[in-house]
A and B are shown apart, each in its own frame.
Chain A
Amino acid sequence: MRLTFEQNAHILGKEAFSHRRFIAGTFIAVTALATIAGLMWPKAYQSTSMILVNNKRMVNPLEKGAAYQPDVGQQRAKIAQDLITSREVLMPAMATAGFFTQKTSAREKAGLLKSVRSNATVADLGTNLISVSFKDRNPARAYHLTKAVVAQFIGQDRASALRQATEAYAFLNQEVASYRERIRSETQELKKLKADTLDANQTYARYQRRRVADLQAAYDKSQIELKEDQGRVRVLEQELTGQGQNNSLLAQGGLDRSRLIADEAQLQKLRLYYRDTYPGIQALKSEIRTLRGKLTRLSAQEKTLHPGQKSLTFAVGSGQFFNNLEHEFNDTQAHVATLQAEAKESQQLLKAQLATLHNSEGSSAVSTLLRDYNVNQQTLDGLLRRREQARVALNLNKRQQALSFRVYEPANLPAEAISPPLAFFVIGGIILGLVLPFGLLYGRTQMDARVRAEAIIPETLNLPLLAVVPHLYAPSESLTARRSVHWLGVLMFCVLFIAISIVLSGRSI
């Protein structure tokens, strides 16, 4: 059967009455002990300093090159908490605050460090503020310790930032030097390669182009000479086949005319590359003038002999002339064959030279070298920018402009103890003195299976309950009980009165 709240309360009241001495004794003992504890409780003083985490500053953009990044947000508080309670920070600060003497052993130092750690409170106050507090029985020592710890912490942070900025700058500087050396080497190599490789020389390209033009001119000349010689071959062949004497003047005129044409072509070609003062050009001009005068004379002579014939004729001998003519025919044929071979060779050389000219600018070695050179140059540019940023960050750290922590509120010398007030102990003792015995009694009634509620008999055991007989007090027993209740009440009140009086008087030991 589950008892109602009212039934439980009635039972608790009856039990409390039955165990009134236990109730009163516990109350008196607990209240008295709590009051004494409050009087004797050691006083502690707490000194607090507040640190500002500088994660949003004007100089932040200048610190992009720093390896040490101060803008890490809320993690700073946690990092600060870990660092502040670290041995590296606490031990020097404790020495500064006077915790150690020359006789302090390592074991004692470890014990003191543990004690200080237990009395340290590092709290993240939210908006970039960290509160660092230390408790100690000595207010001056608490103050000095807090001050020293904050100074030590910020100093170490500053040193760490400077060291990392220096290392970052040195690293970047080294990289820059390395890349510069690499680029210098590549430049030299490229120059050497260009010098050594004709493909890479622009002079060679011009030479090639000129050579192509020369080859082209030689080819054209060969073609013209070939055509001229072929014409001479045909004329000589006609002469040899029966038209010798009649056509001698014509043949002589044809030869001169062919030579004139060839010379003019050669003159034009030479003018492409040389001035008119060039000896070759002067010689050709003289020859051309001579040939033109000769042709003019032959033309006048032919008009006299054959008025209706258009071509020039030449006066020739009979026997010697044929021999000479045959000999010239054979020479001309041989010269034609030679010119054909030369023309063919010139054409092949021209083709090969043109192909070489097209491929001369695409050398793979130079391309690779140039590509590496460009990449390294870009990398060097980036490194130079970053090195400059690192240098700025380093200077900021040297001038202490890049600090991520600043003392926002310095440590104070505590004037009042932070120990719980005496009233706290007394009120706590009174409450505990009441709650403890009643709680124990209630627990006992809940744990004890013995029947204390008459309702259990009919409801749980289903047995007829004939009557409930209250305890019959004999007059003397009633008087004794009443007196005990009154005396216990008086005793409890006296203890209560004394405890409250002590609180109000503000006494302390």
Chain B
Amino acid sequence: MSKVEKALQKARAMDEATQPIPTVATRAAQEQPLLVSHKDLATYTAQIPRMSQKFQLDRSDLGEAKIIYQDMEDAKVVDAFRHMRTHILQNAGSSNCVVLVTSVVPDGGASFVALNLSAAFAFDESKTALLVDCRLRDPKQDRFVGGEIHYGLTDYLEDEDVGVSQIIHEGGLPRFRLIPAGRKSDASTEHMDSRRMRELVSHLKERYPDRYIILDAASPAESADAAVLAELADFVLLVVPYGKATESQIWSAAKAIDEQKFLGVIFNDEPQPRRVIWN
């Protein structure tokens, strides 16, 4: 069990001890959409610091979990995600957006990019980030939730009784929330293409105007999830791992994405021998 998981278990135990198990009524109340307008954005922005944060990963936990944080030693990585975030914000304008992150090849590092892009959004105290793990066949982000029993995206999509608030979990970072994949499901593409998924994404985007939703999707080489989710997203980022994808694979993946939504390529996981040898 990793340090991250231990920290998460500890936080969850404390949470369970202080709060009652949510009932159906409370779930309904939590699901009530907050009909807010952009005029009230300043009001909600002011409420962001008061977001519940029952547990928080310290720097060593973040380091082990390969999650960026401010004042990190490896500034190049942090700067890369900051640059990414800035570029997205420039394209999104004043509104929030849904960003789909997928990889050209399986295990291309899309989950890593999606997680740290979320973390980069969360650096900004006026914004929150919500990472949605859409890899229903092979969940990647569950490790940050901790515990044995928790609801995830699959639960929400398959069970009408499961509310949105039940699947949104803390991620151990300030202003960062996470919807894990939940139970594994082979009907991943069908779920992604479902009405309930579209409603969820729309709800997540519209509920808080300062919340930026990051969708972590499987590679187009693995399934059609990315193609379906690209319709729901505002922008698509294509992750190209160092030394794992050919030019033709990159070209094919990029051409499959709507040009209007295709924001660019993230060249990921470039080795840093100097940092290891000299630091």
Contacts and interface: CB of A to CB of B under 8 A. Distances in A.
Interface of A: 13-18, 448-452, 454, 456-457, 460-461, 463-476, 478, 481-482, 485
A457 B279 contact: no
B267 A457 contact: yes
A470 B64 CA distance: 16
Contact of B63 (A457, A460, A474): A474
A472 B247 CA distance: 24
Given A449-B247, A466-B264, A14 B273 contact: yes
Nearest to A466: B264
A293 to B, nearest CB: 163
A442 to B, nearest CB: 14
Contacts of A464: 262-265
A472 B246 contact: no
A467 B275 contact: no
B267 A454 contact: yes
A457 B265 contact: yes
Given A451-B246, A473-B74, 13 more contacts: A14-B242, A17-B277, A461-B254, A463-B238, A464-B263, A465-B264, A467-B80, A469-B116, A469-B269, A469-B270, A470-B77, A475-B60, A475-B64
Contacts of A478: 275-276, 279
Interface stretch (B22-30, B81-89, B123-131, B147-155): B81-89
A13 B273 contact: yes
A465 B251 CA distance: 13
Contacts of B87: 466-467
A181 B51 CA distance: 141
B8 interface: no
A18 B271 contact: yes
Q: How large is the interface on B (under 10, 10 to 19, 20 to 34, 35 or more residues)?
A: 35 or more
Contact of B68 (A14, A18, A460, A472): A472
Interface of B: 60, 63-66, 68, 74, 76-77, 80-81, 83-84, 87, 109, 112-113, 116, 237-238, 240, 242-248, 250-251, 254, 262-273, 275-277, 279
A473 B60 CA distance: 12
Contact of B271 (A14, A461, A475, A485): A14
21 contacts: A17-B277, A18-B271, A449-B247, A450-B246, A451-B245, A454-B267, A456-B247, A460-B247, A463-B264, A466-B266, A469-B77, A469-B81, A469-B266, A470-B77, A470-B269, A470-B270, A470-B271, A472-B68, A472-B116, A475-B64, A485-B277
A472 B271 contact: no
A476 B238 CA distance: 29
A467 B266 contact: yes
Contact of B80 (A463, A468, A476, A485): A468
A482 B246 contact: no
A472 B84 contact: no
Contact of A450 (B80, B243, B276): B243
Contacts of A17: 271, 273, 276-277
B276 A451 contact: no
Contacts of A457: 240, 250, 265, 267
Greatest chain B CB density within 10 A among A449, A468, A469 is at A469
The 6 A-B residue pairs whose C-beta atoms are closest, nearest first, are A466-B264, A17-B273, A464-B264, A14-B271, A454-B267, A468-B267
Contact of B240 (A451, A470, A474, A485): A451
Contacts of A461: 247, 250-251, 254
A470 B243 contact: no
A466 B247 contact: no
A471 B60 CA distance: 17
A454 B270 contact: yes
Contacts of B240: 451, 457
Contacts of A456: 247
B277 A469 contact: no
B242 A473 contact: no
Nearest to A481: B276
B265 A473 contact: no
Nearest to A456: B247
Contacts of B84: 466-467
A18 B244 CA distance: 13
Contacts of A16: 273
Nearest to B254: A463
A470 B63 contact: no
Contacts of A448: 243
Contacts of A470: 74, 76-77, 80, 269-272, 275
- Scoring A460, A470, A475 by chain B CB atoms within 10 A of each residue's CB, the highest score goes to A470
A476 B270 contact: no
A463 B250 contact: yes
Nearest to B278: A482
A465 B254 CA distance: 12
Nearest to B60: A475
Given A457-B240, A461-B254, A478-B276, A471 B271 contact: yes
A384 B257 CA distance: 109
Contact of A449 (B63, B246, B262, B266): B246
B71 to A, nearest CB: 15
A449 B244 CA distance: 9
A173 B99 CA distance: 115
B12 to A, nearest CB: 23
B270 A14 contact: yes
Contacts of B262: 464
Nearest to A458: B265
Contacts of A450: 243-246
